Structure formats: C-alpha cells, structure tokens
Amino acid sequence: MIDHTHHQNHAHHASVHTHITAHAQQKSTAHKKPSTKKHTTHTTVQKKTPVATQQKLKAQNKSKHRHSQTYTATAQTSKHKKAINVSKFSSTLALNAHRRSTEKCAKHVRLALESAGAQVVSHPIAAADWGRTLEKIGYKQISPAFNNPQKGDIYIISRTKSHEYGHIAGYTGKDWVSDFRQNGYAVYSGTAHYKYYRLS
C-alpha cells in the first residue's frame, strides 16, 4: 500500500509556501512607491522699474546734461574774455608801427591784442568787420570819445567807395596807431562812419 500522506503533506506545504510568497510580494509591491524626481526650474525674474521711477531717472539725466552744456558755454565765454593788458597792447602797437600805411591795419591791431593776452579764435580780414570780434574778447561799443580817449580804445571806420576794407586803429595813451603812427583819428578825407570800442 502506497502511503499518500507524505505526498499530500508535501503538496500542502508547497501550496502554503506559494501562498505566503505571493502575499509577501503583493505586500512589498503595495508598500513600494514609485520614485518621482522633482525638477526645479530656475526662472530669472526681471523686476520692472515703475514708470514713475523711469521718468525721474530721465529727468535727472537731462538735468545733468543741461548743467554740462551750461558749464561748457560759460567756460568758453570766460576763455575768450581773458583780461587784456592794455599797456602791453599799446607798447606793441607803437613798436610795430611803420612811418606810412602798409594797408595792413587789421593785422597790426590783432597782433598787438594777442600780445596783450587776447585770444582771438577767428577774425575777419577786413578792418570794417572787426566789431563783433572786439566784443568777443571783452570790448564794448560806446559813443565816440575822440575828445577824451583812453589807453586801449579802438575805433573802426566803415567801408567807403575809396576804401573797401575800412580802417581800424588803437589808442596808445599818446597817439592813434594802426599799421602806422597816425596824426589823428581822421585818416580818410570826406565823410566817414566811425564805431568806437572800449574794454568793459
């Protein structure tokens, strides 16, 4: 007689073992959670400047620019109006004077002014056009004062039919001198139009 008890017990133990193993796997699977990785996204956030702040900054920049322009203009004006040494102007004018006219009166007056400290940036060729240049270096037009001239005074004669460039001369404290030592201020015969300048 074959004993079936061993086979039955073996089958029973195998069935129990299979059941326990399956249960353990289900429990392990139930407790195991899927791994999820968190991805951090770095986002650069640009702060927007309020409109009011932008307008304020623009106003400040414009103010600085205007200040810079004003300072530059003032510096240039001061540079052109550098003090002129009247004694140096007079002595140079007298020293370079010829006995007779060389028709270079404007050149001689300019050289005398520059030797005295005047900074003549640009100048006209014709003596008749020197008015604005004199004003730039510190002279001011006044009523003619031929009866009581002062050292450093300058006069200009406008163009005439006979003298297309006009005339210019300075007072040395003793004489009216241009490119030559004059006998007086009236170097043209006939009617002439005078402009008179003095350092302001």
pLDDT at 190: 85
Question: Which residues are within 8 A (CB) of 142 and not within 5 positions of it... i.e. 6 or more apart?
Answer: 196, 197, 198
Q: Is 103 left (phi over 0), alpha (psi -120 to 50) or beta?
A: left
106, 144 contact by CB (below 8 A): no
pTM of structure: 0.60
pLDDT at 196: 98
Instruction: Return averaged pLDDT per consecutive 10 residues of the chain, 200 residues in all.
Output: 44 43 46 47 51 62 46 38 89 95 95 95 94 96 96 97 94 97 93 95
Question: The domain 86-199 is classified under which CATH number: 3.90.1720.10, 3.30.1020.10, 3.30.830.10, 1.10.340.30?
Answer: 3.90.1720.10
pLDDT at 95: 96
